[in-house]
A and B are shown apart, each in its own frame.
Chain A
Amino acid sequence: MNLAIKDIRHNLGRFVLTAIGIGMLLMIVMGMGGIYRGISDDATLLIDNIGADIWIVQHNTRGPFAELSRIPQNLVYRAMVIPGVATARSFVQHTIQRQNNIGKQLRMTIVGLDWPIDKGEWVVLESGRILNQNHYEMIADTSLGLNLGEKIKLGKNTYTVVGITSSMISSGGDGIGFFTIQDALDIQLDKTGEAVRLDRVSRSNRVKKNDLGLKQPNLIELASQKSSQLPGLARPEISSVILKLKPGANLKQVENIIEGWKDVSIFTSNGERQLLLKGTVEKVRKQIGLFRILLTIISAIIMALILYTLTLEKLHSIALLKLIGASNWVVLKLILQEALILGVSGYCIAYILGKKIFPNFPRRVILSNDDLFQLAIIVLIISVISSLLGVWKAMQVTPNEALN
């Protein structure tokens, strides 16, 4: 006869409520792990999916995911001629916070795709299509709340959502919007008409005061024209250049060539990934890890108290069992099985609730099999450890106590 099952059956309502309580605690522990996994996964998703072998970034910086990186656009052409390089693409990433069409705050990480080399073929679409033209189209992550076909004004231009993707989140947790490089830079460097006019006046004034302006007065007129028409002004800078190598190309050899350039730094995809995980995500990981440990300890203490209370309630029955000849093992089994059933039920409730609740969280909570397995083992250990107090108390009970 399984006494633990009989006891639970008799106090089913109370047991279910207790299991729900334990389950909710474990759900938070489970969620903590899932949040970390989500942050880590979100942070590296772009690097993993974009299909680059090498990232070229501003000299002495750690790349666009760690800090600001600015390199000239023409670096793409320099990189393209390196033996072994299949493609070289510009990459732009920055975050904006604007009001959307209905006045709500829209925070979005903008990623520039080097159209037409990169139209976003590597982006997994839920609906719609990739970018078909160089301007005014975007692919939006579902978390941005934009719908297919929706038009959104950013700066002076209006962009149409042509594709919807999911789980494309930056390391900061913001949904990603994919634009062409041109559009991404336009959004980043957008200025009002007044600011542009003031720029031009300022430029003219600088040339007027300059020796060159005095000698060549037509330069003063030129200086007040569009900046794009001035050969003396560089094109806007990009965040990095990403290289894809040809099959069989020697990565080390390509790295050595670029390392000889003194104006840039390079990272492999894995290097960039590690930088991201150790930089942006590391503190979050530690924070969540410590919080998770605390919650696990609290769960164990609460479980121990619950099991101790349940044991106290059964002391008379335990004394009676001992009086009629039950071995200590029968009593120990009763408490241990109850602890394990409580732990396992709590875990199942945590999993079921988590599966329902976590998708509604603003950031992804990923319940990986490894994490779930690890937590299951922890729950089993907690169940055993937390039953020890109750077992100890039960072992103190003498058959005499049945007579009281």
Chain B
Amino acid sequence: MADKLAIQADSLKKIYGKDNTEIVAMKDATMDVAYGEIVALLGPSGSGKSTFLTAVGLINPPTSGQIKIGGQLVLNGSQPMVNLKYFRKKYLGFVFQKSNLIPFLSARENVQIALEINGYSPQDSSKRALEIMNELAIGDRADNFPSMLSGGQQQRVSICRALSNEPDVILADEPTAALDSHLGRQVMELFRDISHKRGTAVIVVTHDQRSLDVFDTVYEMEDGVIKLRQEIS
């Protein structure tokens, strides 16, 4: 199984501040996610979910613990073992609570820019962006600016962008928080399809208890510790 693991987060700990101002945001957080697996991470506000996600996303390194991606050690405590920016660009995709699209780029260009940053030519990236958008049924809004799209459409574009460089891992931080339950469900199902069809490991931080059936595994985080709540498959 270990050779099929996309993410191995081992005993992650994150401490902010020092001495009197010290806050332990995450302690002993461990999680393994396999390729093609979609997991949910539940937990109350302040439990350390986002800290965990940013640590695994190589944005906010942990104080201690290890993170392996695709079996390669990338962070040993706060010490980077690889070029994090390159690794993030190559292997990770992000989806946020708000769609976080660049407002001055059209939907297609928001996807295209991620591809160009990954070295695609402008022509290839434009073509590829449209392909992904058609795949996720948002191609008809390709030329619209984010402000002209609904919340659900924006989130779809955001997912297209996350998928554009065919990452091994997608990290989604409350992606349905700004959507109604129907759209929220659609987005969660989209993640599941992506995960299962493409073999992408997906971690979704969510509060939404109604869509838990779409996940393979559900974890719960409390006081900086991750506990397995439910393994569906």
Instruction: Spot the interface stretch: A4-12, A44-52, A379-387.
Output: A4-12
Kindly state whether residue B112 has any CB partner on chain A within 8 Å: yes
Contacts of A398 in B (CB 8 A): 59
Picked from A7, A322, A399, A400, the residue with its CB within 8 Å of the CB of B104 is A7
CB neighbours of B89 from chain A (8 A)? 324-325
Do A400 and B102 form a contact, CB below 8 Å, given A1-B112, A6-B109, A323-B94? no
Does A9 lie within 8 Å of B104, measured CB to CB? yes
CA distance A324 to B90 in the complex (A): 9
B116 CB to closest chain A CB (Å) equals 6
Are A10 and B104 CB-contacts (below 8 A) given A400-B54, A402-B96? Answer: yes
- With A1-B113, A403-B50, A403-B54 in contact, do A325 and B85 touch (Cβ < 8 Å)? yes
In the assembled complex, the CB of B164 is this many whole angstroms from the nearest CB of chain A, namely 9
Complex contacts, B122 vs chain A, CB 8 Å = 1
Report the minimal beta-carbon distance from A276 to chain B, rounded to whole angstroms: 55
Please provide the chain B residues from 162 to 198 with a CB less than 8 Å away from any CB of chain A in the complex. Answer: 173
Q: Would you give the shortest CB distance from B23 to chain A, in whole angstroms? A: 16
A321, A325, A327: the one within 8 Å of B88 (CB): A325
Interface centre among A9, A10, A11, A316 (most CB of B within 10 A): A10
A388-404 with Cβ < 8 A to chain B: 398-400, 402-403
Task: Name which residue of chain B comes closest to A2, CB basis.
Answer: B122
Whether A317 is near chain B, meaning CB under 8 Å from some CB there, is: yes
A330 at the interface (CB under 8 A from B): yes
Please name the residue on chain B nearest to A402 by beta carbon: B100
The verdict on A298 contacting chain B, using a C-beta distance below 8 Å, is no
A320 at the interface (CB under 8 A from B): yes
Q: Is the CB of A326 within 8 A of B145?
A: no
B218 CB within 8 Å of chain A: no
Of B96, B109, B112, B113, chain A has the most CB atoms within 10 Å of the CB of B113
**C-alpha spacing A330/B54, complex, angstroms:** 23
Whether A321 lies near B59 (C-beta < 8 A) is no
Q: Mark B82-106, 1 if CB is under 8 A from A, else 0.
A: 0001101110001010001011110
Q: Which residues 277-332 of A have a CB within 8 angstroms of B?
A: 316-317, 320-327, 330
Q: Which residues of B contact A9 (CB under 8 A)?
A: 104
The answer to the question of B144 belonging to the interface, with a C-beta cut-off of 8 Å to chain A, is no
Q: For the complex, what is the distance from the CA of A401 to the CA of B116, rounded to whole Å?
A: 22
In whole angstroms, how far apart are the Cα atoms of A317 and B88 in the complex?
A: 17
Residues 1-37 of chain A, each 1 if its beta carbon lies under 8 Å from chain B, else 0: 1010011011100000000000000000000000000
Name the residue among A1, A6, A322, A402 with the largest chain B CB count within 10 angstroms: A1
B102 near A323 (CB under 8 angstroms)?
no
Q: Which of A314-356 contact B (CB under 8 A)?
A: 316-317, 320-327, 330
A149 to B104, CA, bound (A): 64
With an 8 A cutoff between CB atoms, is B118 at the interface? yes
Q: How far is the CA of A273 from the CA of B102 in the complex (A)?
A: 62
**Chain B residues with a Cβ under 8 A of chain A:** 50, 54, 59-60, 85-86, 88-90, 94, 96, 100, 102-105, 109, 112-114, 116-118, 122, 125, 145, 161, 173
Apart from A3-B105, A7-B104, A323-B94: 8 A-B pairs, beta carbons within 8 A? A317-B103, A320-B102, A325-B88, A326-B113, A400-B54, A403-B50, A403-B59, A403-B173
Q: What are some 21 contacts across the A-B interface (CB < 8 A)? A: A1-B125, A6-B109, A10-B104, A316-B100, A317-B104, A320-B100, A321-B102, A321-B113, A322-B85, A323-B59, A324-B113, A325-B90, A325-B117, A326-B113, A326-B117, A327-B85, A327-B117, A403-B50, A403-B54, A403-B96, A403-B173
